[in-house]
Structure 1
Amino acid sequence: MSSFLFITLSNIGDALLTTPVLQFLHRYDETAAIDIVGDRRSSELFLHCPYRGEIYHKQKQRFLRGAPALLFELRRKRYDLVVDLRTDILARLVRADKRLSKTTGNGQGHAVERHFAAISPLTEGEEIPSTTLWVGPEDRDYADGVCRQLPGDRWLCIGPGANWEKKIWPAEKFVLAATELGDGLDALVLLGNDSDNRQAEYIAARVQLPCVNLCGRTTLLQAGAVMERTSLFLGNDSGLGHMAAAVDTPSITLFGPSNPGRYHPWGPRAAWLAAPDSNIENIPVNIVVEKVRERY
């Protein structure tokens, strides 16, 4: 059996954008157990990956302070292949027969294309797969419990928050969009973390549709399982948009100052709207509503 080491990225969306490479590595050698290095929170995304080996944590906030212990663990093995999409430093320090990193290829364009360029010596023109989120049965059980509370089956999932204020479409515009779409919907599901609760509560208090607010109340994989059951995801540029694409739920992501050409969710059912002046507040409600109706 072969042994690979895969070093992924930190943030939720960034980590998901590396999953096409992980899928290819499995196709390249289906016998390989693939150990994964990731951040403690985002590594949950890989928990149910059927071909993973061990998961090791690299803590971004600790910088070099946690590196010796991590390196000690990794050097206990010898790997047939190391793929490092974070830097090329760790790949040089572990024991390996072959090393590939972001300096290997000459990647341009979207982040997924640049990641795939890092393994270009192996790919030989292979098509890049979609991103993937491996949801477990217990996560789907949680989603079933949530969805049993909702009427009908036309559910719009909204991600009202983001990690930067300039990436957040105003909550009142989500209300206006949901109101305009109301006749075609049975319920709303609001997803996010604790810091998104202010926007979520604002929306939940003003929409006329049945609404469940799950902000801060789910794990990442539970959120993914809930999105898997909804009809469409609408939200800001955050990890949730990438999660929706990774569970193959139709999605529309709203971009302000970020570059969608480089960071849009990767998948055949993922769409996005970008503010022409990079100010997300200036994305009109009617354009969002039109896009939702086009996709849903």
Structure 2
Amino acid sequence: MQRALFITLSNIGDAVLTTPALEYLHARHPDLRFDIVADARSAELFTHCPYRGEILLKHKRAGWRGLLRLIRTLRRTRYVLAADLRTDGLAYLLRAERRMTKLRRGPAGPHSVEEHMAVVAPGVRRAEIPPTRIWLTDALREQARERLAALPPGPLLAIGPGANWLPKIWPLESFAELLRRLEGRVAAAVLLGGPKDRERAEGLVREAALPMLDLCGTTGLLEATAVLERADLFVGNDSGLGHLASAVATPTLTLFGPGEPERYHPWGPRAAWLVAPDRDLARLTPEVVAERLLRHLERWR
């Protein structure tokens, strides 16, 4: 099978937002096997992609020696096409019959998904852009079902209480008050995040009035995505979890303080977001979030 190369981005959310471009390329070149260059943080997302070849890691901290090793490895293959969604020009150092890069591309729309699509399909209409995608297996879905089996039946809320920067995190007491306002409207909640979110999650469990399951720091990306797929709704800070939820068609509400919601909100018809007054999440009230969340739940139930 002929080979193509797809160079994705590093952060989890950013990598998810490149999947429409990958899906578009596969739909137009179903005979190609796509090798994928990814970061160690996001490479897991492509594990079960059915048309991928090798996954090769690009380590930011490996310096020029690491980059040379990667280039030597990639140059062993002659690619039919190389699509590079980064901006460092790696594709021009490889053996490829056709190169698609961001270099000399003009702006293509407010959202980063539109920018990525402009690399692989200039002039594509918004309606033709595929949704974001995470590839799950039956085993991952069964694992998620078992994880959630102890929770009571009824609407399940997934929560992402953390983020990679403190100003992007809605206060713990606001999440706790949100859960009090949702009593009787959702049956239970599940907390998702990394090991750094454990302390915040434990505090929320202590304050919560709803049945809670804390999975922070206990799942990989794909298992967390399978849990999100079973949830009726996701609410969380501007982080990768909202993008994972949207990629499995779970309705999402992302809370933005600082950041660029127009450019980086989760992609898809079931994705909604709120921007805090003056970009200060401390000023975003649980009352406003609860009202928007319940409207979103009713729309997509």
Task: State TM-score, norm by structure 1.
Answer: 0.97
Contact 2:256 2:276 in 1 (8 A): yes
Q: In 2, distance between residues paired with 1:44 and 1:122?
A: 31
Contact 2:89 2:101 in 1 (8 A): no
Aligned residue for 2:277, secondary structure, equals coil
The offset of 1:104, in angstroms, is: 4.9
- Kindly provide the CA deviation profile for residues 57-90 of structure 1, in whole angstroms up to 9, marking residues without a partner as x: 0012223231111111100000010000012521
Are 1:42 and 2:42 an aligned pair?
Answer: yes
Q: In 2, distance between residues paired with 1:124 and 1:249?
A: 24
Mapping 1:1-296, distance limit 5 Å? 1-106=1-106, 107-121=108-122, 123=124, 127-296=128-297
Contact 2:80 2:96 in 1 (8 A): yes
Q: In 1, distance between residues paired with 2:133 and 2:216?
A: 22
Q: In 2, distance between residues paired with 1:128 and 1:112?
A: 8
State percent identity of aligned pairs: 50
Aligned residue for 2:36, secondary structure, equals strand
The amino acid that maps onto 2:11 is N
Aligned residue for 2:83, secondary structure, equals strand
The amino acid that maps onto 2:207 is R
Contact 1:88 1:101 in 2 (8 A): no
Q: In 1, distance between residues paired with 2:47 and 2:123?
A: 25
Q: In 2, distance between residues paired with 1:237 and 1:243?
A: 12
- Report how many residues are paired: 296
The offset of 1:136, in angstroms, is: 2.1
The offset of 1:123, in angstroms, is: 4.7
Unaligned runs of 5+ in 2: none
Q: In 1, distance between residues paired with 2:274 and 2:190?
A: 21
- Kindly provide the CA deviation profile for residues 41-65 of structure 1, in whole angstroms up to 9, marking residues without a partner as x: 2010000111111100001222323
Q: In 1, distance between residues paired with 2:124 and 2:268?
A: 19
The amino acid that maps onto 1:234 is V
Aligned residue for 1:252, secondary structure, equals strand
Q: In 2, distance between residues paired with 1:108 and 1:185?
A: 37
Aligned residue for 1:117, secondary structure, equals helix
The amino acid that maps onto 1:44 is E
The amino acid that maps onto 2:114 is E
Q: 1:136 to 1:63 in 2, by over 3 A?
A: farther
Q: 1:282 to 1:256 in 2, by over 3 A?
A: same
The amino acid that maps onto 1:103 is L
Contact 2:100 2:119 in 1 (8 A): yes
The offset of 1:124, in angstroms, is: 7.6
Aligned residue for 1:24, secondary structure, equals helix
Q: In 2, distance between residues paired with 1:206 and 1:121?
A: 50
The amino acid that maps onto 2:271 is A
Q: 1:123 to 1:51 in 2, by over 3 A?
A: farther
The amino acid that maps onto 1:99 is R
Q: In 2, distance between residues paired with 1:123 and 1:110?
A: 14
The offset of 1:151, in angstroms, is: 0.7
Task: State TM-score, norm by structure 2.
Answer: 0.95
